[in-house]
Structure 1
Amino acid sequence: MKLNGGIFIEAQHKGLICIVLSAMGFGIMPIFAKIAYKGGITPETLLSLRFILSGIILFIYLRLSKVSIKVTKRDLMYLFLLGGVLYSATAIFYFYSIRYISTALSVLIMYTHPMMVALLSNIFDRERLTVQVLMSMTVAFMGLSMILGDSLVLKVNTFGILLALATAISYSLYIFISSRIIKKVPSLVATAYISISAFGGLVGLGLAQGNLSLNFDTTVGIPLVGLVFCSTIFALVFFLKGVEVLGATKSTIISMFEPVFAVVFSMLIFKETLSFLQLVGGIAVLSGAVMVMIMKEKVTEVSGGQEV
């Protein structure tokens, strides 16, 4: 029993380390983007290159791992819809927002998405909002009001704030819809298809707006490699490895370290700062998001349901 317990604890620790490394990889993503922008690349071009390279590498990895990439026509249609519309919209809103406001501010606003998902579940799935969940959501949205209120006083770029809010909305729609229509496709396979379809959506957007151009400095190469490997491939693989040990909900809660890493990295590298009220608001947003996920896990356990 002691031996089995020791193995279980060791596995839990490995799962925790995997999720923290994943959060670090995702958290440094906007840093790579901001560095790449200095080389003259547009968000549409940067994201298009990120997704096509990530998609190709993922398909090669799946092929070498002998994982079947076959999906039904229905699932394929939904995957391309999710990637080409919702995920590409989320990415472009986020990558544009950090051009107008600080990374720290953008990521904190974006992390109101768990509350938005809870609201969508209540409206469309009639998922009951418990008193605890409502209180958690209230804390988070009060935090958001602090962030936005102080940002207006400090004359932070309003367009950047709206883009960050659009990121949260589109990402919550992506999570809500994908968890309900893609139920039998392995996460890594789904991500490969979504990456390729997001590439298609972003190329179409870039061509329509005339913002797709390969006229940028070679200095973009290093942050692009960082985006593809650190913030996409490795971050995703570590997250999935952690989920295998800890489960989806616990892993998602631990992955809330991502905005913390993003804020810390932006402060260290770009010397970005938050006002006291924005910092308090950010803590409230993240606390509310964590509490919402914990409460939803308890409801799932009581109801005997399973997360997709």
Structure 2
Amino acid sequence: MHLASNVSIGLAAFLWGLIALFVRELTAVGFSAMEIVTIRVGVAFLILFVIGVAKKREQLKIQFKDTYLFIGTGVLSIVFFNWCYFTTINEMNVSLAVILLYTSPAFVSILSFVFLKEKLGRKKILAVLGTIIGCVLIAGLRMEETAQISTIGLFIGLGSGLGYALYSIFGKLALQRYAPFTVTFYTFLIASLSLVPSTTLWTKSSILFKPSIIWYSIGLALITTVTAYFLYTWGLKKTESSKASIIATIEPVVATLLGLYYYNETLTIIQLIGGMFILASVILVSYEKKNKISVETTNGAH
């Protein structure tokens, strides 16, 4: 079961890595970054709503007292980390923003240790360091770029990593009570309620409802959001939050390869080494001894 959950999380990260295919097209026609996030979240919720009403009505029931869990995944994670991430991009170099975003495995490991009582062993710490080093190398940080770091940019950038991490924490808590579909559905319901009123998408209806834009919006929502988040949430139910966050750093590797083959971008030796750091870290936390798996399965820990 651990292998299946790790594969599920890896597939989610792979799909997240494809997001540029859709974002670049929507950016080209004039949508801002936060408008694209709103399109992604809003259309994802509509897809989940149709699936829920048609096939999973029983999984739409929650207790009101648990709403805070979905405020955590929807607002404190998805909305907050996207705002922080795009604000950081405006404050400093994009590569620095990416690096700060991918401090998330460190945040998840610490928060999981404190709130979820997950172990923080040497292997996990080594894997977290490996993913951070790998992301730094893939992002292509150069010494002259460090001069562009502002104090507010640094803290907001770290906020993006924290926000990104909070999905794993609140999601893990929610999964103790609800099915993966339920968690995904209410995450995007609350995120949509937070984002849609704050944007002016209706002023761009002339391009929003063009057939090509509708298809890109559906692709963005269905492939890189609904399917990806469901796979990640399903995998998260069966593995530790800290391990899941480390496996999910496959995303920048996929994004880099996508740029290489689809957009004719170049891949440096440094970036290749960075990708190897990340993949080695993922393999490190994914490997489990057979006797350890049997013990955890018997205890129903994951």
Q: TM-score range by the shorter chain?
A: 0.7 to 0.9
- 1:3 is matched with none
Letter in 1 for 2:125: L
Counterparts of 1:44 and 1:296 in 2: how far apart (Å)? 44
- 1:150 is matched with 141
Counterparts of 1:137 and 1:22 in 2: how far apart (Å)? 19
| Aligned pair partner of 1:130 in 121, 131, 134 | 121
Distance 1:290 1:90, change over 3 A: farther
CA contact (8 A) 1:23 1:256 kept: yes
- 2:46 is matched with 56
- 1:39 is matched with 29
CA contact (8 A) 2:108 2:169 kept: yes
- 1:115 is matched with 106
Distance 1:95 1:67, change over 3 A: farther
Letter in 1 for 2:54: L
Letter in 2 for 1:41: F
Residue 306 (str. 1) matches residue 301 (str. 2): yes
Distance 1:295 1:117, change over 3 A: farther
Structure 1 stretch 258-267 or stretch 63-72: which is displaced more?
258-267
Counterparts of 1:278 and 1:165 in 2: how far apart (Å)? 22
Q: If the length of structure 2 is used for normalisation, what is the TM-score?
A: 0.73
| Higher RCO by CA contacts (8 Å cutoff, separation 6 or greater) | 1
Per-residue deviation at 1:249?
Answer: 6.2
Structure 1 stretch 171-180 or stretch 187-196: which is displaced more?
171-180
- 2:263 is matched with 270
Residue 25 (str. 1) matches residue 15 (str. 2): yes
- 1:4 is matched with none
For residues 103-152 of structure 1, give each alpha carbon's deviation from its aligned partner in whole angstroms, at most 9, with x where no partner exists.
x8866664442232112223445544222223333333444565678334
Matches within 5 A, 1:118-197: 118-125=109-116, 127-143=118-134, 146=137, 150-153=141-144, 165-197=158-190
Q: If the length of structure 1 is used for normalisation, what is the TM-score?
A: 0.71
The 3-state SS of whatever aligns with 1:172 is helix
Identity across matched positions, percent: 22
Counterparts of 2:65 and 2:46 in 1: how far apart (Å)? 22
Distance 1:67 1:118, change over 3 A: same
Residue 225 (str. 1) matches residue 218 (str. 2): yes
The 3-state SS of whatever aligns with 1:189 is helix
Counterparts of 2:148 and 2:293 in 1: how far apart (Å)? 40
For residues 163-198 of structure 1, give each alpha carbon's deviation from its aligned partner in whole angstroms, at most 9, with x where no partner exists.
765432211123123323552111111211111211
Per-residue deviation at 1:46?
Answer: 1.8
* RMSD of aligned Cα (Å): 4.3
| Aligned pair partner of 1:235 in 228, 231, 238 | 228
Letter in 1 for 2:251: E
Per-residue deviation at 1:71?
Answer: 0.1
Letter in 1 for 2:131: A
The 3-state SS of whatever aligns with 2:77 is helix
Alignment gaps of 5+ in structure 2:
none
Letter in 1 for 2:129: T
Counterparts of 1:282 and 1:113 in 2: how far apart (Å)? 17
Counterparts of 1:98 and 1:28 in 2: how far apart (Å)? 20
Distance 1:71 1:109, change over 3 A: same
CA contact (8 A) 1:152 1:158 kept: no
Counterparts of 1:249 and 1:138 in 2: how far apart (Å)? 17
How many residue pairs get aligned? The number is 289
Letter in 1 for 2:39: L
CA contact (8 A) 2:72 2:166 kept: no
